[in-house]
Structure 1
Amino acid sequence: MDEQWRADLALWRIPEEIAAGAPADPWGHSPARFAERTDRALAEPEGPTLARIAEALPPGGSVLDVGAGTGAASLPLAADLGELVAVDVSDAMLAELASRAERLGVPTRIIRGRWPDVAAETPEADVAVSAHVVYNVPDLAGFLTELTRHARRRVVLELTGCHPMSWLNPLWQHFHGVTRPRRPTAHDVIDIAAKLGYDVHHESRPAPLTRFTELEDLAESACRRLCLGRDRADDVIAAVIELDMWPVPRDRWFTLWWESR
C-alpha cells in the first residue's frame, strides 16, 4: 500500500560520499530549538491541530503524543489533560517535555522508543496525535494503523505540505550538484490513510512562524543539513541571495484527522 511512499522517502537519503564528510549529523535536531517552539505554543495556543484535539478530548481526558519532541502539539492543552503519554526516541527532547509538564501540573507517562516498535507497551488514549513526524516514517501504513488502534476517539496528524527539507533543494544543487526529490507530500499521506479505510478530513494554513528570522540562523542550519562546515556560512548566505531564496517562504502546514472508532 505504501510502497511508493517508502520509495519516495528513500530518495531523500544523503549520498554516502557527501555524508561521510559531514562535520555534524545532518539529520539532527536541537532540543533547545524545539523547546522554543513549545514555549511559543504554550504562550499562544492556536491553530487547527490543537482545535481538532481539543474538540475530541473529554474533560480530564488523555492524549497520546507520538514523536512528541518537547510537547508543542499536546502541552498547550494542559488545562484539559488528565494524562499525557509522550513517545519519542530522544531523551533530551523528553526531558524538556517532562520539565514543562511538571510545571503545568500534567500527569505524564514517558515512553522512550520509536513508534510503532513501542506500541505494545503504550496505553490507549482518548486522542492520538503525531506532529511533524511522518516524513521520517518509511512504513507509514503500519505507523498509522497502530496510532489508530491506540486512539479511543480520534487521530490527529500535523505535517508540512511537502518534505520539511525541501527548502534546501536549490542549495543541494548549488553546492553538491544533487537534485533532491519533490515527493512525498501531505496528499500522499491522505491517500494512504484513506486506503487504510479512515475517513480523513484535512485543512491547511501557512505555518504560524517563518522558518528563519535572520540570515545567520539560516546559514547555520543549512551548513549542517548540507554536510558543510560552519566556515562555509558566508558561502551559503551568498548562494541564498544569488538564488533569491531570502526570505524563506513560510511552509504550508496540514492538519489531518479521523475518528478512530
Structure 2
Amino acid sequence: MDERWRADLAQWGIPDAIAARAPADPWGHSPARFAERTDRALAEPEGPTLARIAEALPAGGSVLDVGAGTGAASLPLAGSMGELIAVDSSAGMLAELRSRADALGVPVRTVEGRWPDVAAETPAADVAVAAHVVYNVPDLAAFLTELSRHARRRVVLELTEHHPMSWLSPLWAHFHGLIRPERPTAHDVIAVAEALGHEVGHERRLAPLARFATLEELGESACRRLCLGQDRVAEVIAAVAELDMWPLPRDHWFTLWWESK
C-alpha cells in the first residue's frame, strides 16, 4: 500500500517545463494566512479532531503536533495541555505558533525540520496529531510509524478526503492541458495505517469554512498554484466562470485516530 501511495502522490508533481516558468513557489504557504486560520480555531474551537485529542489527553498532558503550522490543530486545547511539542519545517510558522502559545500560557517546545527526519530529537507525548500534512509525505508508512512511536496514548490525523489541490484540476487542464490524478485519498491513508497494524477510527465531515471568501482570493491563489503571474488573475477568474467552478464546493475532511500499542 505504501508504494501505491508514493506512486499516486508523485503524479501530483508539476512538470519541470511548467515549474521553470513559475514567478513564485507554487507549493508555498503563507504563515500569515495560516495564522488567521489558527485565530479562527482559537475563537471557535470545534470538530472531531479536537474532540479525539481531548478525550485521550490526561489533565496537564502533552501534545505532539507534527506539521504544526501555526497551531490550529493543537492550541485550541490550551486549557488542557501541560506542554505542546510543535514540529514544522518552517521557522516562520513556528514563530507564529510560539507567539500564540506564549499568549495562552502554554509551555511549548519547537523542533524545526521535516518529520520523520527530526523524530530522533523530538520527545514523545501523550497524544500525537498531524493535521493537513500527509499529502506532502511520500513515505507515509515511515511517517505514521514514527508518529505512533511518539504517542503514548493516541494518534490523530486530519486531512481532506481528496488531495488538497484537487480543486485546481479543471484549471490545470484549461491552462496547461494537464490532467491531474484522482488519487491518493483519505481512504488510502486508512489502508496504509491498517497495513501497519492499527485499528483506525474515522469520521467524515464538511470543512468548517469555504476555501475562499471571494473570487479575487481564489484567482490570486490559483495563479500561484498554476505557475502563472498575478497579472493573469482576471483571466483565471474568467476561466472559473466558464468552467462553472464558483462557488467551490466545500471540502470534506476526515479525522482518523488509533490507540498507541
> What do residues 5-58 of structure 1 show as CA deviations (whole Å, max 9, x unaligned)?
000010000010000000000000011110000000000000000000000000
Residue 20 of structure 2: aligned partner: 20
Equivalent residue for 1:52? 52
Paired residue for 2:88? Answer: 88
Tell whether 2:153 aligns with 1:150.
no
Q: Name the counterpart of 1:64.
A: 64
Amino acid at match of 2:41: A
CA distance in structure 1 between the partners assigned to 2:123 and 2:233 by the alignment: 45
Q: Does 1:189 find its partner at 2:186?
A: no
Residue in structure 1 matched with residue 4 of structure 2 by the alignment: 4
For 1:224, give the aligned amino acid: R
Q: Which amino acid aligns with 1:153?
A: R
User: How far apart are 1:59 and its partner, in Å?
Assistant: 0.3
Task: Render the CA deviation track for 1:221-249: whole Å, top value 9, x for unaligned.
Answer: 00000000000000000000000000011
Give the AA of the match of 2:189.
Answer: V
Question: 1:98 — aligned with what?
Answer: 98
The ranges of structure 1 where at least 4 consecutive aligned residues each deviate by more than 2 angstroms after the TM superposition are none
> 1:33-182 residue pairs with structure 2 within 5 A?
33-182=33-182
Matched to 1:149, the amino acid is R
Q: TM-score, normalised by structure 1?
A: 1.00
| SS of the residue 1:117 aligns to | coil
Q: Kindly provide the CA deviation profile for residues 99-125 of structure 1, in whole angstroms up to 9, marking residues without a partner as x.
A: 000000000000000000000011110
Following superposition, the deviation at residue 201 of structure 1 comes to 0.3
Inter-partner Cα distance in structure 2 for 1:195 and 1:217? 40
Please give the root-mean-square deviation of Cα atoms over the aligned residues, in Å. 0.4
1:201 and 2:193 matched: no
Give 1:251 deviation, angstroms: 0.4
**Deviation (angstroms), 1:95:** 0.3
Shift of residue 199 of structure 1?
0.5
CA–CA separation in structure 1 for the residues paired with 2:212 and 2:114: 29
CA displacement, residues 184-231 of structure 1 (integer Å, 9 cap, x when unaligned) = 000000000000000000001000000011000000000000000000
Aligned mates of 2:27, 2:101 — CA distance in 1: 27
2: CA distance, partners of 1:221 / 1:93: 19
- What letter matches 2:120 in structure 1? A
Percent identity, aligned pairs only, is 79
The alignment partner of 2:79 has SS state of helix
Whole-angstrom distance in 2 between the partners of 1:139 and 1:17: 26
Per-residue Cα deviation, 1:140-169 (whole angstroms, up to 9, x for no partner) = 000000000000000000000000000000
Amino acid at match of 1:210: A
CA distance, structure 1, for counterparts of residue 205 and residue 250 of structure 2: 10
Q: How many residues align?
A: 261
Distance 1:2 1:211 in 2: 29
SS at match of 1:169: helix
| C-alpha distance in 2 between matches for 1:222 and 1:180 | 15
SS of residue paired to 1:79 = coil
CA distance in 1, matches of 2:217, 2:24: 16
The letter for the 2-side match of 1:105 is G
Query: Does residue 231 of structure 2 align to residue 243 of structure 1?
Result: no
- SS of the equivalent of 2:164 reads coil
Instruction: Could you tell me which runs of 5 or more consecutive residues in structure 2 were left unpaired when the two chains were aligned.
Output: none
TM-score by length of 2: 1.00
